[in-house]
Structure 1
Amino acid sequence: MNRLSYTLLPLTALGFSSCTSQKTEIKHPNIIFMMTDDHTTQAMSCYGGRLIQTPNMDRIANEGIRLDNCYAVNALSGPSRACILTGKFSHINGFTDNASTFDGSQQTFPKLLQAAGYQTSIVGKWHLITEPQGFDYWCILSGQHEQGDYYNPNFIENGKHVVEQGYVTDIVTDKAIKYLEHRDKSKPFCMMYHQKAPHRNWMPAPRHLGMFNSTTFPEPSTLFDTYEGRGRAAKEQDMSIEHTLTNDWDLKLLTREEMLEDTTNRLYQVYKRMPTTVQNTWDSVYAQRISEYHNGNLKGNALISWKYQQYMRDYLATVVAVDENIGRLLNYLEKTGELDNTIIVYTSDQGFFLGEHGWFDKRFMYEECQRMPMIVRYPKAIKAGSTSNAIAMNIDFAPTFLDFAGVEIPDDIQGESLKSILTNEGNAPADWRKAAYYHYYEYPAEHSVKRHYGIRTADFKLIHFYNDVDEWEMYDMQNDPHELNNLYGKPEYTLKQAELMLLLKEVQEQYEDNDPEEGIAELFKGDRRFMENR
C-alpha cells in the first residue's frame, strides 16, 4: 500500500480566487482526541450495547462514522498509548509493557502537529512515566501508579504538582474547557482529552453513587465459561470475577469502621480523599451491598452472578460520568462556534471484558478487549451515520490526524491514514490491509496473561501463545464470535490454517517483528516493578 502523504501547507497560507484574486485564508481543522481507559464497545449504545445508554457518544457516531473493526495492537494501557502517539508497534517504539518507560525524545504526532503550527495539549491520563513532550500545555494525572485518583486527584501541570478538589472526570473536563477558553485562537488546536474512567477500581461520581443499585444487568452467555478445548492461557489467567476481584478494592465490601482498623488499605486511601458528605453517601450506598454479601450465603455460580452485578453497577456508573462530560465538551465547542471546525474522535486504549469468559480486565487478543471503539465526527468531510468494516488499528490514529491536518506522514510510521475510509462512507481502498496484527508482552506479571501474538482478519483469528507454552488457537469469527471452538489442528481447516500462517508471517515481516519470540528477553530478567492497577 502506498504511503499517503501531503506537502505541508503553512497555517497562514493564502489562496487566490481565479475570478476576483481576493485573498482567502486556508482553515485547518482542530482535533479533539477523546480517549478513556478500559471502555469497551459492549458498554456503548451506539455499538448496540444493551447495558447502558451513552447519548453523547451516540451523538458523535450518529453525526459521524462508527468503525466496527478497530483493534488495539497491544491491549494494555501504556503500550496502547505509546502505539497511538508514535504510529508504531511496541517492538519499535520501545514501550512493550507497563513496566517500560516511554522514550519521549522520539517522533510523535503531537510533535509533528506542533511543528506545523498547531497548538497542542494533553489533559488527563498519560501513563507513560516520562514527562510529555511536544505539547504547548500538559496537565496529567499522577499518583496511584500514574493512574490518578477518582476523588481529589493529583495532577502535574506543566511540571507543577497540584491537587484538585472534586471528581476526576469532571475536573479533566473543567481543565480542558479552561485551556480552550484561553488558547491562542489564531492557531488550530489538537487536544488529547484523556479520562481515567472507567479504569479499575470503578468509583462513581458522588451524584451517581447507587444509581444502579436496583438494576439487574443481563449476563454474558460466557460468564461461566469452562475453557474446554482451549489451552493453558485461558485456564491459567488471573483475571476472573470469581477469584480475582477483591472484596475491598474492587467490590468495596468494607465499612468505614473496617477501613479505619487498617488505614493502609488501598480503598481507605481513596476514601479519605472524599469530603465528609460524600463519605456519608458512600457508606449508605454500599451498606446494602455489604449486607447482601454477609447475609446471602452465596456460593458457586450464584456468587459469581452477584459479583458480576456489583462490578457492572460501579463500572457503568463511571461511564455515565464520562458520557455526561463528553456532552459538556461538545456543548462548549458548539457554543463557541468550533464544533463543526473540529475533528472529534472518541476511543479507548483498548476494549475490556465485562464478564465474558468470566473475566474482567484486558490483555488477551480475544475480541472483547482487542476490539476498541472508534467513532469520529467531522461534518465537513464525514457523512453522518456512516459505518465501516475496514480493519483499523490504533497505530493508524497518528497518520490519520496528520493527514487531516495536511502534514506529511513520515515514512517510518507503520500505521496507515484512515482518512480515505472516513471520508468515503466507510469504504476501504481496494488495496487495504487484510489483517490486524497483535503482540502482547507483559508476562509474568499481574493477571498472568501469557505472551502471545497473532492476526485478526475479517473472518478468522490466529493466535500463538509462547514463552512458557507453545500453543496455537484459531477461530472462525463469523460462526464462533465468542471464540469458544479452537479450530487449530483440525483436519477440515488445514488449508485455512496454512493460509493464515502464511499471512501471519507476511504481516510480521511487514511490521518488522521478524523474531517475535526473541529480542525481549532482557526485559524480563532481574527485578521488575510489576505494580498493581496497571
Structure 2
Amino acid sequence: MKGLFRGLILVALSGLGSTLVNAQKNEAPNIIFIMSDDHAYQAISAYGHGLNQTPNIDRIADEGVIFNSATVTNSICAPSRAVMLTGKHSFRNGKVDNHQEFDWNQDNFVKQLQENNYATALLGKIHLDGTPQGFDHYAVLPAQGNYYNPDFIINGDTTQIEGYVTDITTDMVIDWLDDRNTDKPFCVLYHQKAPHREWLPAERHYKKYTKRTFKEPTTLFANNEGRGTAAQTAEMNILSHMNWAGDSKISPEALEAMGIDENSDWGIEAWEKNLGRMNKQQRASWDATYQPIIEDFKSKYPTMSKEQLTKWRYQRYMQDYLACIASVDEGVGRVLDYLDQNNLAENTIVVYTSDQGFYLGENGWFDKRFMYEQSLRTPLLMRYPKEVEAGQKSDALVQNLDFAPTFLDYAGINIPTDIQGKSFRKVLNQEDENFRDAVYYTYYEYPSIHMVKRHYGIRTHRYKLIHFYYDVDQWELYDLSADPDEQTNVYNSPEYAEIKEQLHQQLTDLRKEYGDSDQLQQEHLDRYINTVKETMSGL
C-alpha cells in the first residue's frame, strides 16, 4: 500500500510539474521599451563604427538580436513617437509634425495591454501634448524637458526634481518596478531625453569626454553637389548652423570678446535656459570644466581657418553628445541588472531604440529629418531570453510602425485591423525571411527649422527613391550597394532606368496600400501653414 500511495503522489506531482511548465510557457511577457532621443546607430558600439563604447546597450544585442536595417516612417521626434504608439503612419494618426496636436483618444498598444491586465507606466520623455492615456502611472517631461533639475508632470501634477534627467528617469523606472502590482505582467515605456540637442552631459561624464578626440566621418566636408536642391539648401551644417553658446558651449561674453558675428546664431537664449537650471554647485563644476575650453578657443580663434573651425566644432559636438549617451548606457545597465537580480530577465522583452537616427558630422551635418540613411535608420536591439535566440543579426526592413503589433502579438492580444505595421515576432524566431520588400517614408515639417524640404519615398534593401516637393519637384535615386554614403543621385542615369521604373511602381503601390496621396499631403500642408500663422499671430 505504501508503494502504491507513493506512486500516486509521484504521478500527481508529475502532472502538477507539467501544469507549471505549461503555465510558465503561456505566461504573458513583461515589456521594457527603452527609447532615447536622437541616438544615432553610429553611436552604439554594437554597430561597429568605433566612435564610443556602449557596453550595456550592446548586451541587449549579445543576448538577443541587433537590427541593421531598422528605419522610421518620419524622422522627427513627436511624429515618430505617435507612430510607435499607434502602429499607424503619421498621415493616419494625425501627428505629421511637431506642431499638430496628437489625439490621445485614439487607440494605442499600451491601452490594449492595460485592458488585458497589464500594469503600465510611461516614464521620461514623450513629447506629445495632452494627457497620456493607457498608463496606470506616468511621469513625463513637459515638451523637450531639461537636462538639469528637470520638471516632471507626474499623473497631472508638475514638480521639479533636483538632479540629472537621465539618472532621474532611470530611478523612476526602478522605483516603479519595485512598487508595481506583481500579480500582473508589466509594460513600462522608459524614454530618455538624452541625447537630444542641446547636449548637457552629467558631471561625471563631461569631465572625461571633454578631454577626448573622436574620429571624423569621411564625408565631414562633402559639398552635396551630387544631390538635389534639398540637400544643398538645408540648414544643418555644423559650422554654419549650430549655435555657439547653446551647442558649442562658448559663453556670450567670450563670443562678444572674439567679435563673432551675431548673425551666425549665438544661441544665448539656449545658454541661459540650460545653464540657468543649474544650482550653484552644478554650475561651479560646469564652469570649472568648460571655462578653460572657452579660454583655449579664444586664443586660437583669430588664426583658425573654416576647416579648422569645422573640425573644432565637430569635436565639441561629439564630446557633449557622446557624454550624454554614456549616462543613457549606464541607465540601461542598471535596469538590466535589476531584471537579473529579481529573476525577471527570462520573461521580459527588452527593446532599445531611438525615435530616429541622427547625423554625426556626415555631410557636415547634425540633426535628422532627411530620408538619407543616417536619419532614416534607427538603432534597434531586442532580447527576450524565453523565446529569442541570442547573438542574432537581422537585415529585415522593420520600422517603428511595427512595435505596436509586435508587442500585442507577444502578449497574445488580437492586433486591431487599422494598425498598419506588422509583427516581427517571426523574424526574431528566424521564420520570416521575406518580412518586407520596401519601407515607406514621409516628412512634412517645412518651411521650418533646418529647412529640410517636404519629401516622401521608398527604400528597398538596395535602392532608395525620394520625391522632394512643395517648392521644388525633384526626384533622387540612390544605389546603396554602390554608393552607401548616398553622394550621387542616379535618377537620370540610363543605367538605372529599369530600376527607376520598378521603384516608381513600388512607391505607387505602397502609397495606395497605406492610404497616402498627393491630396492628403496638401491637406496636411494647409493645416501646417494655418498652425504656423496662428502661432505667429499669438506672439
More displaced stretch, 512-521 vs 281-290:
512-521
Which residue matches 1:493?
496
The aligned amino acid for 1:519 is: E
1:433 to 1:264, Cα distance in 2 relative to 1, 3 A = closer
More displaced stretch, 278-287 vs 490-499:
278-287
| TM-score, structure 1 normalization | 0.92
User: Following TM superposition, by how much is the alpha carbon of 1:17 offset from its aligned partner in structure 2, in angstroms?
Assistant: 11
SS at match of 1:387: strand
Residue by residue over 1:431-482, the C-alpha shift from the partner in whole angstroms, topping out at 9 and shown as x without a partner, is x321011000000111100000001100000000000000110000011000
| Structure 2 residue corresponding to 1:315, chosen from 312, 321, 333 | 321
The aligned amino acid for 1:37 is: D
User: Following TM superposition, by how much is the alpha carbon of 1:164 offset from its aligned partner in structure 2, in angstroms?
Assistant: 0.4
Report whether the alignment pairs 1:198 with 2:202.
no
Whether the 8 Å CA contact 1:452–1:465 is kept in 2: the answer is yes
- The correspondence of residues 237-276 of structure 1 with structure 2, limited to 5 A, is 237-254=234-251, 265-276=269-280
The aligned amino acid for 1:206 is: E
User: Following TM superposition, by how much is the alpha carbon of 1:518 offset from its aligned partner in structure 2, in angstroms?
Assistant: 2.6
Which residue matches 1:181?
178
Which residue matches 1:39?
39
| Structure 2 residue corresponding to 1:161, chosen from 158, 163, 174 | 158
1:257 to 1:369, Cα distance in 2 relative to 1, 3 A = closer
Residue by residue over 1:334-363, the C-alpha shift from the partner in whole angstroms, topping out at 9 and shown as x without a partner, is 111112221000000000000001100000
Give the total of aligned pairs: 508
1:521 and 1:348 map into 2 onto residues whose CA distance is 26
| Structure 1 residue corresponding to 2:424, chosen from 418, 425, 437 | 418
1:455 to 1:175, Cα distance in 2 relative to 1, 3 A = same
The aligned amino acid for 1:477 is: L
1:273 to 1:416, Cα distance in 2 relative to 1, 3 A = same
2:474 and 2:324 map into 1 onto residues whose CA distance is 37
Q: Which has the higher helix share?
A: 2
The aligned amino acid for 2:207 is: G
| Structure 2 residue corresponding to 1:466, chosen from 445, 466, 469 | 469
Which residue matches 2:408?
402
Whether the 8 Å CA contact 2:86–2:108 is kept in 1: the answer is yes
User: Following TM superposition, by how much is the alpha carbon of 1:255 offset from its aligned partner in structure 2, in angstroms?
Assistant: 6.7
Whether the 8 Å CA contact 2:254–2:294 is kept in 1: the answer is no
1:219 and 1:497 map into 2 onto residues whose CA distance is 33
1:381 to 1:227, Cα distance in 2 relative to 1, 3 A = same
The aligned amino acid for 1:279 is: R
SS at match of 2:346: helix
Residue by residue over 1:263-308, the C-alpha shift from the partner in whole angstroms, topping out at 9 and shown as x without a partner, is 9833122213223222112112112321232211322111111100
1:376 and 1:472 map into 2 onto residues whose CA distance is 35
1:36 and 1:317 map into 2 onto residues whose CA distance is 14
1:257 and 1:236 map into 2 onto residues whose CA distance is 30
Which residue matches 2:487?
484
Residue by residue over 1:476-502, the C-alpha shift from the partner in whole angstroms, topping out at 9 and shown as x without a partner, is 001100000100011111101001111
1:341 and 1:190 map into 2 onto residues whose CA distance is 12
The aligned amino acid for 1:294 is: K
1:176 and 1:429 map into 2 onto residues whose CA distance is 35
The answer for unaligned runs of 5 or more in structure 1 is 1-15
Report whether the alignment pairs 1:214 with 2:211.
yes
CA RMSD of aligned residues (A): 2.1
Whether the 8 Å CA contact 1:390–1:428 is kept in 2: the answer is no
Whether the 8 Å CA contact 1:256–1:283 is kept in 2: the answer is no
2:385 and 2:531 map into 1 onto residues whose CA distance is 51
Whether the 8 Å CA contact 1:30–1:190 is kept in 2: the answer is yes
1:280 and 1:59 map into 2 onto residues whose CA distance is 36
1:279 and 1:256 map into 2 onto residues whose CA distance is 16
User: Following TM superposition, by how much is the alpha carbon of 1:39 offset from its aligned partner in structure 2, in angstroms?
Assistant: 0.1
Which residue matches 1:351?
357
SS at match of 2:445: coil
1:530 to 1:355, Cα distance in 2 relative to 1, 3 A = farther
Which residue matches 1:109?
109
Residue by residue over 1:408-430, the C-alpha shift from the partner in whole angstroms, topping out at 9 and shown as x without a partner, is 10111000001000122xx6344
User: Following TM superposition, by how much is the alpha carbon of 1:524 offset from its aligned partner in structure 2, in angstroms?
Assistant: 2.8
1:75 and 1:526 map into 2 onto residues whose CA distance is 22
Which residue matches 1:6?
none
Which residue matches 1:119?
119
1:256 to 1:337, Cα distance in 2 relative to 1, 3 A = farther
User: Following TM superposition, by how much is the alpha carbon of 1:23 offset from its aligned partner in structure 2, in angstroms?
Assistant: 5.1
The aligned amino acid for 1:32 is: I
Structure of higher CA gyration radius: 2
Which residue matches 1:449?
452
1:473 to 1:22, Cα distance in 2 relative to 1, 3 A = closer
The aligned amino acid for 2:327 is: A
SS at match of 2:295: helix
Whether the 8 Å CA contact 1:308–1:355 is kept in 2: the answer is yes
Which residue matches 1:58?
58
User: Following TM superposition, by how much is the alpha carbon of 1:213 offset from its aligned partner in structure 2, in angstroms?
Assistant: 2.4
Which residue matches 1:290?
294
User: Following TM superposition, by how much is the alpha carbon of 1:517 offset from its aligned partner in structure 2, in angstroms?
Assistant: 4.0
- The correspondence of residues 321-336 of structure 1 with structure 2, limited to 5 A, is 321-336=327-342
Whether the 8 Å CA contact 2:64–2:381 is kept in 1: the answer is yes
SS at match of 1:35: strand
1:449 to 1:29, Cα distance in 2 relative to 1, 3 A = same
Whether the 8 Å CA contact 1:345–1:377 is kept in 2: the answer is yes
User: Following TM superposition, by how much is the alpha carbon of 1:94 offset from its aligned partner in structure 2, in angstroms?
Assistant: 0.2
Report whether the alignment pairs 1:141 with 2:141.
yes
The aligned amino acid for 2:58 is: D
The aligned amino acid for 1:350 is: Q
Residue by residue over 1:140-175, the C-alpha shift from the partner in whole angstroms, topping out at 9 and shown as x without a partner, is 011xxx011000000000001111010000000111
The aligned amino acid for 1:522 is: D
Report whether the alignment pairs 1:338 with 2:341.
no
Residue by residue over 1:234-279, the C-alpha shift from the partner in whole angstroms, topping out at 9 and shown as x without a partner, is 01111110111111111110178999xx998331222132232221
| TM-score, structure 2 normalization | 0.91
The aligned amino acid for 1:249 is: G
More displaced stretch, 263-272 vs 289-298:
263-272
1:181 to 1:498, Cα distance in 2 relative to 1, 3 A = same
Which residue matches 1:428?
432
The aligned amino acid for 1:153 is: P
The answer for unaligned runs of 5 or more in structure 2 is 1-11, 257-265
SS at match of 1:268: helix
Which residue matches 2:81?
81
More displaced stretch, 520-529 vs 29-38:
520-529
1:159 and 1:257 map into 2 onto residues whose CA distance is 41
